[in-house]
Structure 1
Amino acid sequence: MRTIKGPALFLAQFADDNPPFNSLDSIAKWASGLGYKGVQIPSWDSRLFDLERAASDQGYCEEIKALLAHHGLELTELSTHLQGQLVAVHPAYDEMFDGFAPREVHNNPQARQAWAVRQMMLAAKASKNLGLTAHVTFSGALLWPYIYPWPQRPQGLVEAGFEELAKRWMPILDAFDAAGVDVCYEIHPGEDLHDGATFERFLSAVNNHPRANILYDPSHFVLQQLDYLAFIDRYHERIKMFHVKDAEFNPSAQQGVYGGYQSWVERAGRFRSLGDGQVNFSQIFSKLSQYDFDGWAVVEWECCMKHPEAGAAEGAKFVEQHIIPVTDKAFDDFADADVDEQTNQQILGLS
């Protein structure tokens, strides 16, 4: 077994135009002061990172790592959540998702998708240049409008959707394979990869590609009422990344999983700061340690109530308390009897 690394912090929810959140240097200093040992960087945020430069300039990558090291931090992974989302967009969401891309590709779904694919290819090169082994993204979604089958889905619609999704992702997966980096899809509502069944469909469609893997975030499974502990048992070989995020689900006579179009505060299922929700993190850290997960425990702060800076400060301590320093010896080694094969035969009555 190997000890999980951390605590680390995903910077996407904290990046801002105001200091200390408006540059990588100042936000790294802030995160380090809270006790974090690593940061996960959103590759789309130019205030913190230049993806195109990182893909072609090894010197720039060394500067990024040196800057973080100056504050006692490591770079855990890059994120392309926004760009990955745009690899596959159903036309119903075109207008809303245009905001994830530069203005020159707005109102042009084909150009927007081409931009997104290029971004993913840059992310593969940048990850390699930075010495990373895993990368987080979203799968995008062609089928999400048909998640609840009314009217009934036409025969073959789901198969056709996953066939197209795989066609779009295969060249990207191959590029990450060439870079030696795992693509870790965050299994998330709104994506075609939103639970175990859909991940398995996708995995089959990409011929069990070795780089098609999972970012495990239990909060999204609580909101779907999925068994998030059994998920680790079933998919641990593909879990290469871990977001530590809490959630709660409190159904009522008025609403359940779908939420009744309520605001986050009013929803039955809502994200909470670490320790304020219902996720059993003691069991999660135990299971991940049992299955030899040696990646980073990355806090992704999202909460409908608590201030983000309070959540970040509490999150570092929370993760540190849950990481299990794994043992290199059996607890009952003191009772070990030094015997040989002949003795074992005698104990079994075979000699």
Structure 2
Amino acid sequence: MSPREYDETDVRIRPGRRGSRPRTKRRPDHADAEEAMVIAVDRGRWTCAPGGDAKAPPVTAMRARELGRTPIVVGDRVGLVGDLSGAPDTLARIVRVEERRTVLRRTADDTDPFERIVVANAGQLVIVTSLADPVPRTGFVDRCLVAAFAGGLTPVLCLTKADLADPAPFAAHYAELEFPVVVTRRDEPPDRLAELLDGGVSALVGHSGVGKSTLVNALLPEARRLTGVVSGVGKGRHTTVAAVALPLPDGGWVVDTPGVRSFGLAHVTSDDVIKAFDDLASAVEECPRGCGHLGPPADPECALDALVAAGTLRPGRLDALRRVLVALRPGHAGAPSPDR
């Protein structure tokens, strides 16, 4: 028997597993995506309010593959596609994250390069501190102020438990900075705070046990947030375990954040803070490079001192600002330790 002769018809080419069609890098632009606001985050799922409307059924969504590891936090404005009915067991997709107008960031400590975005697009940062049980700490308030100024948020200082101590001495530290200071008591409704929060998105931040969740319960009783009992050493247990945006009765949202024991500022510079003050931002352009704006002896050529000498800046206002800027100095008493 003569050997068989083979030709090209006897060769079988197996197609690749993924097919022979090249994969396109083009993605749909999702022009029909519906805008929504992220109101909660939990283990790879995002709860969203379509149109930012608290009355619309909330939609559960996942992050679209094309977004990769793009961080999405409470307050983000996102684009949704898919099932937006909000019915049980339905899932939409987040296909777009809009540019953030404001960002509240913090780091674990002042040496940690990793930034944690706490809330996006909030107009106000309500810094909640108690006047007693636990005692107020200027260091923590100063650091929150720095984060608010650097992130574009308007700070509001809320002093709780005024039935236990006089708020005037502590409030005096910040009077020259001219931002709102609200005083609340446990035996009175927080009407003034409710007026400030009405219609916007505001984040609440503070140490555990200072009364954040109690305030939320008073502003929005149906939220049913847990309240904790402050321990004997002045540090309460955490009663809010994740940031969540809650709708206010007359419009707007309040973001209740987890109680924190430290507020790192590794991502902030003194210039970031100064930019928040319209009357000072242009003046510091005349400062020497690397100026921390703390004045002599650390910064003897700071241009802010020239404004005081010219009578265009009140000395008390500059002193108050510099007390806040000290929070950025390494080793400051209000700085969180690396193990916190």
Structure 2 length as normaliser, TM-score? 0.28
Structure with bigger gyration radius: 2
Higher strand proportion: 2
TM-score normalized by the length of structure 1 = 0.28
In terms of fraction of residues, the more helix-rich structure is 1
Structure with higher RCO (Cα < 8 A, 6+ apart)? 1
